[in-house]
Amino acid sequence: MRVDVHTHYLADALVSALERRRDLPRISTRDGERMIEYGEGNAHPLLPAMVDIDRQLGEMSEDGIEFAVLSVNVPGADWFPASDGIAVAREVNDELADLIQRHPARLGALALLPMQAPEAAADELERAVKLGLRGAMVYSNVAGRALDDSEFQAVFDAAAKLDVPIMIHPTYPLSASLVDAYALIPTLGFLFDTSTAALRLILGGAFERHPELKLVLCHAGSLIPHIVGRIDYEASRDPKGFGALSVPPSEHLRLLYTDTVCVWPPAIRSALELLGPDRIMFGTDYPFWEPGRTLQTLGEAKLSEREAEAINRRTAERLFALQSVREEA
């Protein structure tokens, strides 16, 4: 059986808030179809599977997925005025808490945070964890601001104190204007944004301050497993390359967790070389990607029995403290 740690649900509270917006991001209607507009010229349909939890539970069963840790679709609440973002995040997290209380044996969830108001976001993380949420998902930039801005440190401090994971997920990338062609925003822009966000956090000393911090970088470690040697080499050639670190960056990069969303078996093997199976978790990116593609990719990656067991469930159960929750259910 499997635990899916990268699967999305678009909460009703966020749908309603985005439909009220006139500025981007927003939800609009075109030719009778609701569209999520993330940025200039970047939109896709609001898929029924995004908002139908019963459908999602049914498809999980069909794919042999026992448990899912839900996270909220981008664009989240970061683009709202601070007071509105705080209110939207609270509503969304209350909705998620209700969902997991109704399906405790099948669902967990990650909190939505109003990162444009960092102190409030830290408080909301604490409140959400008390409601039963298993951590939080943040986006690779905060409405255009770098995630390692010192103002956002309060959120990572709170996560370390609470001993809960923070997942870094792509959003409308800072490089969007350069990659807005040939589907390069999702294929390259997303990965560049998440890799940059994680590297800046780590080189800025995130693990120096909190060695116990649990950071999850989506999409098979994004670009990092493939360029980790280059990162160490270039860092050693530049007096500022190590940032706040006293050791090669790879030593801290190995503290990351990731998922299996990649549809490329060599990428799974590369992530395993860097992180090992105890830091990699099954993920599908439902409903944006087909779960069957992840299952096929893992089959072709030729995992050992121990690797498969860790990736499919054990790592997620440990990281998100799921075992006790499911036993109680």
Taking only the tens place, the pLDDT of each residue in 121-138 is: 999 999 999 999 999 999
What's the pLDDT at 270? Answer: 98
What is the average pLDDT score of the chain?
A: 96
The rounded percent of the chain whose pLDDT value lies above 70 is 98
The count of other CB atoms within 10 Å of the CB of residue 25 is 21
Question: Which amino acid is it at 321?
Answer: A
Read off the pLDDT of each residue in 238-267 and give the average, rounded to a whole number.
97
What's the pLDDT at 30? Answer: 87
Read off the pLDDT of each residue in 27-44 and give the average, rounded to a whole number.
89
Read off the pLDDT of each residue in 291-295 and give the average, rounded to a whole number.
96
Read off the pLDDT of each residue in 128-150 and give the average, rounded to a whole number.
97
Beta strands in the chain (DSSP E): 2-9, 26-30, 33-39, 42-45, 65-72, 107-109, 111-112, 136-139, 141-142, 145-146, 166-169, 215-217, 257-259, 280-281
Report the chain's terminal Cα–Cα distance, integer Å.
17
39: pLDDT confidence band, cut at 50, 70 and 90? confident
CA distance 159 to 215: 10
62 compared with 324, residue with greater pLDDT: 62
Poorest-confidence range of 39-43, 93-97, 106-110, 222-226?
A: 39-43
What's the pLDDT at 41? Answer: 74
- Structural domains present in the chain: 2-328 (3.20.20.140)
What's the pLDDT at 3? Answer: 98
pTM of the model: 0.96
269, pLDDT greater than 90: yes
What's the pLDDT at 327? Answer: 59
325: pLDDT confidence band, cut at 50, 70 and 90? low
What's the pLDDT at 329? Answer: 57
Read off the pLDDT of each residue in 83-105 and give the average, rounded to a whole number.
97
324, pLDDT greater than 90: no
What's the pLDDT at 328? Answer: 61
CA distance 25 to 75: 7
